[in-house]
A = this chain, B = another copy of it.
Amino acid sequence: MNVVDQNLSRIEREPLWDRAHTQLREALLAGRFEPGSALVLRQLADTFGTSITPVRDALSRLVAQRVLEQGPRNSALVPDVRANALKDLMVVRCELEGRAAREAALKADAAGLEALEALLAEMRGMIAKRRLDTYLDVHRRFHFGVYAMSGIAILVEMIENLWLRCGPVLSFVVPEYVLSLKGTDHHAALLAAIRAGDGARAEAEIIADIEEAGRYLLGLADTDGRIRRAG
- Which A residues are closer than 8 A to B by beta carbons? 15, 17, 56-57, 60-66, 74, 85, 88-89, 91-92, 95-96, 99, 103, 152-155, 157-158, 165
Contact = CB atoms under 8 A, between A and B. Distances in A.
Given A60-B57, A61-B60, A61-B61, A66 B99 contact: no
A160 B225 CA distance: 27
Secondary structure dominating the interface of A = helix
Per assembly, the copies of the chain total 2
A153 B69 CA distance: 14
A92 B66 CA distance: 19
22 contacts: A15-B74, A17-B60, A57-B57, A60-B60, A60-B61, A61-B63, A64-B65, A85-B154, A88-B152, A88-B154, A89-B154, A91-B99, A91-B152, A92-B96, A92-B99, A92-B152, A92-B154, A92-B155, A95-B95, A95-B99, A96-B96, A158-B158
A213 B15 CA distance: 41
Contacts of A64: 60-62, 64-65
Name which of A61, A64, A66 has the most chain B CB atoms within 10 A of its CB. Answer: A64
A66 B66 CA distance: 12
Name which of A63, A89, A95, A103 has the most chain B CB atoms within 10 A of its CB. Answer: A95
Closest 5 CB pairs of A and B: A61-B64, A64-B64, A88-B154, A95-B99, A88-B152
